Amino acid sequence: MYLEDTHGEEIRFAYRHLPLVSIHDKAVITAEAAEAAGAQGMFWEMHDLLYERQQEWNRLPEEEVGDKLVGYAAELGLDTDRFAQELEDGVYRDKILADYEEYQKYGPMATPTYVVNNIFYPQIGLHPVVIDGFINLVVDPPEQFADGPDQVIDPEKEYTATVRTEKGDIVVELFADQAPANVNSFTFLAQQGWYDGLAFFFVQPGAVALTGDPTNSGAALAGAALPYPGYTCGDEVSPDLTFDQAGMVAMLTGAPDQNSSQFFITYAPQPNFTGTYTIIGRVIEGMDVAESLTPTQPGADQPAPDNIETILIEER
């Protein structure tokens, strides 16, 4: 209902049975029961009844499940003879298994699985803000760079990035020599205006300030599964760079070697981050501005986040 209310005619729902046959031995027969009930106009009634009564039928021996399902059909006032015959004949089995095979190609499935425009929704929670961010990213993705970033830096030179925000400027010394691929990507995206208007959508004092997600929600963390910005960079973890102080700037990734556009600024030493996230720079001016960013996170009843106006790159 929430998605219907917020997206109106932009979204159409289609239900598919994706029975996890490897772990649920009753998945196919219960899907068939829902379809058989649906043939008599009672799909969702059977669907909901099966969900509510799962503890009743889930552990029954195979030879008893059919009788239990026919009993549910009787409760719903269905033609039980027709219902039972369709189950026995496997009328809907091929259709259900065909859906399962079709969707397997998109990636691993869970319970439940959501697919938007043939892109699997990652397992990152079902908060409306996150779901909205995912849908908006899939339906109206930002500019893509499928061939990867142009080479826009010289690793032998020095660079700074001025993150211009509503609260003031944060100046970052970039470590082009120690993280050349990720600094080049960050610089390229900044020069393309990628970060303009994006929010520091997760700000936790004493921990980090996070930005760089075109959904401003964290939905894009599973960068390998989503179409943004069209490429990823491998990790560049230097033994000479650690999270031993506030003001370290690093790329956030949900998986190894999947750095994309999200980055964060630390508010305190974060030793547990060392060796996991690629550090691309260090705040050299404006740490007070970074610390003044509004504490917030995706979700209802949260303060409005502060936005990036633009990021300016300077070669020194």
Q: Which of 49, 84, 110 is the last residue of a domain?
A: 110
Whether residues 105 and 166 fall in one domain? no
What is the 3-class SS of 151-172, one letter each residue?
CCCCCCCCEEEEEEECCEEEEE
Q: What is the pLDDT of residue 144?
A: 83
Tokens of 130: 């996150």
Distance between CA atoms of 5 and 2, rounded to whole angstroms? 5
Whether residues 236 and 100 fall in one domain? no
Whether residues 163 and 303 fall in one domain? yes
Whether residues 65 and 213 fall in one domain? no
Tokens of 290: 């970074």
- Residue 138: pLDDT over 80: no
Average pLDDT over residues 278-285: 98
Q: Which of 74, 94, 110 is the last residue of a domain?
A: 110
Domain of 36 in residue numbering reads as 2-110
Q: What is the pLDDT of residue 8?
A: 73
Sorting pLDDT into bands at 50, 70 and 90, what band is 223? Answer: very low
Average pLDDT over residues 190-210: 96
Q: Give the chain's domain count.
A: 2
Contacts of 17 (CB under 8 A, 6+ apart): 31, 34, 35, 96, 99, 100
Domain assignment present for 142: no
Whether residues 57 and 203 fall in one domain? no
Whether residues 39 and 163 fall in one domain? no
φ, ψ of residue 131 to 5 degrees: the values are -60, -45
Sorting pLDDT into bands at 50, 70 and 90, what band is 50? Answer: very high
Please, what is the average pLDDT of the chain?
88
Domain assignment present for 66: yes
Determine the Cα angle at 131 with ends 227 and 230, to 5°: 10
Average pLDDT over residues 119-128: 65
φ, ψ of residue 192 to 5 degrees: the values are -85, -5
Over the range 190-222, which residues count as b (16 or more CB within 10 Å of their CB) and which as e? bebebbeebbbbbbeeeebbbbbbbbbbbbbbb
Q: Which of 75, 110, 145 is the last residue of a domain?
A: 110
Tokens of 87: 């189950």
Whether residues 200 and 94 fall in one domain? no
Number of helices and strands in the chain (H, E): 10, 10
Sorting pLDDT into bands at 50, 70 and 90, what band is 54? Answer: very high
Indicate whether this model's pTM tops 0.75.
no
Whether residues 209 and 281 fall in one domain? yes
- pLDDT tens for 23-48 read 788 989 999 999 999 999 999 999 99
φ, ψ of residue 88 to 5 degrees: the values are -65, -40
How far does CA 208 lie from the centroid of its chain?
20
Q: Give yes or no for a contact between 276 and 282, defined as CB atoms under 8 angstroms apart.
A: no
Whether residues 72 and 174 fall in one domain? no
Whether residues 163 and 67 fall in one domain? no
Domain assignment present for 39: yes
Beta strand 202-204 with 208-211 is antiparallel
Alpha helices in 27-79 (DSSP H): 27-38, 43-52, 54-57, 62-75
Q: Which of 12-16, 90-94, 231-235, 279-283 has the highest mean pLDDT?
A: 279-283
Domain assignment present for 302: yes
Q: What is the pLDDT of residue 156?
A: 92
Q: Is the peptide bond before 180 cis (omega within 30 degrees of 0)?
A: no
Q: What is the CATH number of the domain that holds 274?
A: 2.40.100.10
Domain assignment present for 181: yes
Beta strand 208-211 with 159-165 is unpaired
